[in-house]
Structure 1
Amino acid sequence: MPEAPVAAPKAELRSWKAPIALGIFAVLFGLLVFFAPRAGETNFRLTSGAEAIQLADVSVPVFLTTLICFLLLALLAAASAYFVRAAARTPLWIVIVFVVVAVVGFLTWAAAGATIPVTGLLAGSLALAVPLIYGALGGVIGERAGVVNIAIEGQLLAGAFTAAVVSSLTQQPILGLFAAAFAGVLVAAVLAAFAIKYLVDQVIVGVVLNVLVIGLTGFLFSQVLQPNAALLNTPVRLDRVAIPLLSDIPILGPVLFRQTIIVYIMYFAVALVYIGMFHTRWGLRLRAVGEHPQAADTVGINVNSTRFWNVLLAGAVAGLGGTVFTIGNGIAFNKEMTAGAGFIALAAVIFGQWDPIKATLAALLFGFASNLQNTLSVIGSPVPSEFMLMVPYLVTIFVVAGVVGKSRAPAADGKPYIKG
């Protein structure tokens, strides 16, 4: 009896987006080096003067450094192509090293003859990245459960508004944190009810919620907060807490360990979400209802209930991120003050391939790109300010459309589950 033919193994699809994108940016950087060369030296100030250990400034020749960076970028782009050809994917470390080299090279070119305060640049980048990280964590939780959370922008804005009002009324910023999380839960509850129970398209519900929250907070700001600003819109700023010893570490100490409680909660949130998602029963159930809800249902998991409660959790996390805009910086609430941060956080979710650690790294990259314009403006860089304003959005397009490569969302993401 002849043997049945053995099916040939399915070849893994290769995505050449990453090497092509890296190659294009290497060429663009090369054009900058050779057709707009700059002379002199760039000085990198590594310590701010408040650290226990002081490091000497580092000065580098502009043309030689940018030339070396260009060659490294070309090699990394070639390495990306090699790995895609051999293993069908670009390792994450190549992308990270490429970004670091590109940033060092661009800073060296843009700040020729000036001094870059490295600690200030990194601290400002982290400050801008914190709400993006909270939003990205909320997005990862929601989408891992199978619900597309377009409403991150609305959750951030609701958290910022509620934190400002509650902190102003009570003079207790900690109460503002709880109120912001509750506001995020309310917005998420509407999303969950319409998307899970009434099977409305999740993207449409998210967009409508964003518009609703923007309109509602804008109306309340104009009609209630502005006439009563002293009572309702003078949020108390959270104090910065320096962690002994750790805060004295050069460069990273002032950046990571002289922060407000919002930032410290963020550190724990990233770790807890990662550990919980991949090493606990909660995470297994969460990923099951997002990948294969029918299989999860057959083993006794209530799919819609699991999705509902996890969407609420995602809303609470995103709502906490909104506090950065008000009590985190001691700034009064203003209309649309989140300025699209929720959509950047959503891009970080995609760039991070629905992984909390990778999404956090992506949010840090976006925060750095946003803060770069401030630093270069202060040191008097010749780079046009209009171009620098575009940088965060160019980076978003770059990483989502190019660097991500082959990226797959949870299989049931955005698909309502109907039992039976």
Structure 2
Amino acid sequence: MELVEAIILSVLAASTPLLIAATGELVTERSGVLNLGVEGMMIMGAACGLGGTWLTGSIIVGALCGMIAGMLLSLIFATMTLGLAVNQVATGLALTIFGIGLSGLIGAGFVGERIATAPHLHLPSPTDVPFGGRILFGQDGFVYLSLALIVAVRWFLYRTRAGLVLRACGDNHVSAHALGYPVLRIRLLATMFGGACAGLAGAYLPLAYTPFFIPGMTAGRGWIALALVVFASWLPGRLVIGAYLFGAVSILQLHAQGAGIGIPSQFMSALPYLATVIVLVALSRARSGGSTTPASLGTVFVPDR
């Protein structure tokens, strides 16, 4: 039972950055913007998050630095795609390359530095309950924040007028503009929210997952977060299932290697990404008729003057 509990705790930790980043990207894509720069914003969040915590000694400041870094990169993306009507796919790929390079420059001075990770909640009676206590009441603040974030996003999208307007911009920006809604402003705010979430997800890695920074430590998590949005069919509830599923695949391959299973380690390391491809292919074949894809996703919008 202790081994099972340890595996579940590891899965929760590995899934949290995926869930946070995918939640932000889901809101961005629901507004009709396809931002492929999640990986770049995450690695920038990791570098700036560790730097902020190392300089101030505060996990909260580090998390805010990560969010600001992701938001600033998203503003660059928004300026190009919303302001200048540049192709969103090309801009997102360029943003990832730019973020990876800039994070290496910013984080170079912090490589090898270690910090104290985010503290875990500990309620003496509930946390000490065998098996379930640590799982429910012994997590760090990022885990609880990720779950609260997905609940808040679901409520916003389906229970508020602002969420309805945002979804309208993603489904038909021409009609939304004709009704008088500021499509570009709404998409800008959604893009900034996605950038802040990606930066926070990146900051989670050095602040709670591993207490140091190394270049490329996001290791493709940004691309998995993008795939998760498609896996979830742009629905917040399914996003939780997908994030924990892919987190489980990542952790189980590590335990399989530790158990000495006779499978090449390179194949085991590739399992999360192989699972991503398989799931996306299966979904594309199974989906028929009523697709939940935002109809205006990735389409440039230039309002009439």
- With the length of structure 2 as denominator, give the TM-score of the two structures: 0.93
Closer, same or farther: CA 255–408 of 1 in aligned 2, 3 Å: same
Which amino acid in the other structure matches residue 354 of structure 1?
W
Determine helix, strand or coil for the equivalent of 2:208. coil
CA distance in 1, matches of 2:281, 2:138: 35
SS at match of 1:327: helix
Contact 2:63 2:204 in 1 (8 A): no
Letter in 2 for 1:412: S
Relative CO higher for 1 or 2, CA cutoff 8 Å, sep ≥ 6? 2
Contact 1:138 1:152 in 2 (8 A): no
Asked if 1:419 corresponds to 2:294, the answer is no
AA at the equivalent of 2:105: F
1:109-165 CA distance string (max 9 Å, x none): xxxxxxxx2111121111111111111111101100110010111111111111100
| TM-score computed with the length of structure 1 as normaliser | 0.68
Instruction: Work out whether 1:364 is the aligned partner of 2:244.
Output: yes
Q: Decide whether the 8 Å contact of 1:372 with 1:388 is kept in 2.
A: no
Q: How does 1:235-384 map to 2 (within 5 A)?
A: 235-243=115-123, 246-248=126-128, 251-384=131-264
* Counterpart amino acid of residue 243 in structure 2: A
Letter in 2 for 1:418: V
1:225 maps to 2:105: no
The question of whether the paired residues in 1 share the 8 Å contact of 2:47 and 2:106 is answered with no
Q: Which amino acid aligns with 1:225?
A: F
- The aligned runs of 1:129-278 (5 Å cut-off) are 129-222=15-108, 224-226=109-111, 233-243=113-123, 246-248=126-128, 251-278=131-158
Aligned to 1:241, the other structure's residue is in SS state: coil
- Contact 2:34/2:89, CA 8 A, preserved across alignment: yes
Deviation of 1:295 after TM superposition, in Å, equals 1.7
8 Å CA contact 1:173–1:235 kept in 2: the answer is no
Return the offset for 1:184. Answer: 1.0
Contact 1:181/1:317, CA 8 A, preserved across alignment: yes
Query: In structure 1, what is the Cα distance between the partners aligned to 2:210 and 2:220?
Result: 20
SS in 1 for 2:209: coil
Q: Distance in 2 between matches of 1:243 and 1:156?
A: 31
Q: Deviations over 1:326-365 (max 9, x none)?
A: 0113521111110110000101010100112212211111
How far apart, CA to CA, are the structure 2 residues paired with 1:390 and 1:183? 29
| Preserved contact between residue 148 and residue 414 of structure 1 (Cα < 8 Å) | yes
Question: Percent same amino acid among aligned pairs?
Answer: 32
Distance 2:202 2:253 in 1: 22
1:163 maps to amino acid: G
Provide closer, same or farther for how the CA distance between residues 245 and 349 of structure 1 changes in structure 2, counting only shifts above 3 A. Answer: farther
Shift, 1:246, TM fit: 4.8
Number of equivalent positions:
300
Whole-angstrom distance in 2 between the partners of 1:397 and 1:327:
29
- Cα distance in 2 for residues equivalent to 1:329 and 1:198: 38
- Structure with the higher fraction of residues in helix conformation: 2
Deviates more, 1:307-316 or 1:381-390: 381-390
Checking the alignment, whether the CA contact within 8 Å between 2:44 and 2:102 is kept in structure 1 is: no
Q: CA RMSD in A?
A: 1.7
User: 8 Å contact 2:48–2:106 — kept in the other structure?
Assistant: no
Rounded to whole Å, the distance in 2 between the matches of 1:250 and 1:356 is: 31
Change (3 A) 1:163 1:253: same
List alignment gaps of at least 5 residues for structure 1.
1-45, 49-116
- Compare CA radii of gyration and give the structure with the larger one: 1
Q: Residues 62-141 of structure 1: matches in 2 within 5 Å?
A: 117-141=3-27
Gaps of 5+ in 2: none
In 1, the alpha carbon distance for the partners of 2:264 and 2:173 equals 50
- 2:298 alignment partner AA: G
Q: Distance in 1 between matches of 2:28 and 2:53?
A: 28
Match of 1:409 in 2: 293
CA displacement at 1:216 relative to structure 2: 1.2
